[in-house]
Amino acid sequence: MFSEKPGAWDLIEEELSKPSIFRSRESLTPEYVPDKLPHREEEIKQLVSAFKHLVTSPGSISQRVLVVGSTGTGKTALTRVFGRDFTRIARSRGINLRYVHVNCHRNRTLYNVVAEIAKQLEIPLPQRGLSVKEMYDAILGYLDESDTYAIITFDEFHYFASIAGSDAVYFIVRTYDAFDTSIKRLNFVFVSLSTSMLSLLDPTTESYLLRHMVKLEPYTSSQLYTILRYRAEQAFYEDVVGDEILRFIAEYEGRDRGGGGNARNALEILRQAGEMAEAEGTGRIMLEHVRRAIMHTSRELISISEAVIYSPLHELIVLWAVIRLLRRTGKPFVKIGDVEHEYAMLCELLGEQPRRHTQVYEYVMNLKKAGVINARTSGKGIRGRTTLISVHYGPLDLFEKYVEDLIYKRMKVSKR
């Protein structure tokens, strides 16, 4: 007797025919660059003031501005919106100005950073391998020949400073000390979580960065409400989300109500609540959806996701191994030798060739520098010297699921 249950085709058709409550899901994601930034008008004015010379007297100086703020205060959105609109206005006034946004977690070395600048400026480089100095010379030469100016933003600059070191930072920050020219075409924005993360730099370089600083404070509940309302209008169809929902999320996350003042966290809660409402077919987001979204949303996980989203595949597998071991053993720390063994097993599961010990150790140190894990040399009570690794936030089950999903997504993209 044949089953009357619907086949895969029917199930797919049924799901596709369901109306979506989302008008633009991407407008709630961290990567989205909005048309306007509520409550960041003063900071935009500060950036305009710092780079005004590019319109009034282009080439007169090379400006350096430091943008500082905790996670979710809108640093990336601020610089991208400013760069997008400022270059448009400059071009309308006859100034050939380009904006380049370099993610320093994805591009960790000086070589990769300079290569990324050349790529975004569409500068044709020779096929043969060039040194960093040769590539930088080519960039400056191209800007001179094409009468072009550029604002280069180094996002997550604290990570680059930690990984690449003070010499690499000096090379960028002091560009026109090494490359003497009367017309200065490169200008810089350095985005960091805090000024304390730049303390490893030499005093002269640090003072260069601190001369012009734009500081972003965490959002209050009323500010978050404005942001959520603006994004909700873009993200959802009419009557999907009520005012009380937006105020509930804003008051949960607002700095003045004991929250982190993190807009990214607030938008993630709204997105997850919307997906729950859509999956259940309610047509509207209810308070219960928001409460469940809050339970599934770890503030720490959202903060840490910024630090690992661009990590290399095998660095993520090492991190996965650490989390699995911590969950399985219930201990506060695990040994690097055990992590390597777990990592090798995961590589076999994923069909990946495991990296050698020195590379695994480097991954662990990179994750430590990014603030994802804690790693220290063992002391008394443990036979032999080894590296002990721990994670001080949670819940670990959500963190593991996030890392595992990220690994499989990364592998899926690489196989296309």
Structural domains of the chain, with CATH: 16-22+219-297 (1.10.8.60), 41-216 (3.40.50.300), 304-414 (1.10.10.10)
Contacts of 9 (CB under 8 A, 6+ apart): none
What is the chain's pLDDT, residue by residue, as a tens digit (416 residues)? 455 666 777 767 666 666 799 999 999 998 899 999 999 999 999 999 999 999 999 999 999 999 999 999 999 999 999 999 999 999 999 999 999 999 998 898 999 999 999 999 999 887 678 999 999 999 999 999 999 999 999 999 988 988 888 889 989 988 887 666 779 999 999 999 988 877 767 777 778 788 899 999 999 999 999 999 999 999 999 999 999 999 999 999 999 988 999 999 999 999 999 999 999 999 999 999 999 898 787 777 777 777 788 899 999 999 999 999 999 998 888 999 999 999 999 999 999 999 999 999 999 999 998 888 989 887 655 566 789 999 876 678 888 988 999 999 888 877 66
Alpha helices (runs of H) in 146-296, residue ranges in sequence order? 157-164, 166-173, 175-178, 203-210, 221-235, 243-253, 263-280, 287-296
* Predicted pLDDT of residue 206: 78
Using CA atoms, how far apart are residues 175 and 178, in angstroms rounded to an integer?
Answer: 6
> Residue 41: what residue type?
E
Give the closest residue to 69 by CA, choosing from 60, 79, 59: 79
* Predicted pLDDT of residue 383: 61
* Burial of residue 328, with CB atoms counted within 10 A of its CB: 0-12 exposed, 13-18 middle, 19 or more buried: exposed
* Predicted pLDDT of residue 340: 97
Q: Give the single-character DSSP code of 339.
A: H
Using CA atoms, how far apart are residues 296 and 252, in angstroms rounded to an integer?
Answer: 14
Can you tell me whether residue 152 is helix, strand or coil?
strand
Assess contact for 45 and 80: CB atoms under 8 A: no
In order of 51, 139, 172, 196, the CA distances from 83 in angstroms are 10, 19, 19, 26
* Predicted pLDDT of residue 381: 54
Buried b (16+ CB within 10 A) or exposed e, 73-112: bbbbbbbbbbbeebbeebeeeebebbbbbbbbbbbbebbb
Can you tell me whether residue 281 is helix, strand or coil?
coil
Helix 263-280, helix 287-296: angle, nearest 10: 120
Using CA atoms, how far apart are residues 322 and 328, in angstroms rounded to an integer?
Answer: 10
H-helix or E-strand containing 102?
strand 97-103
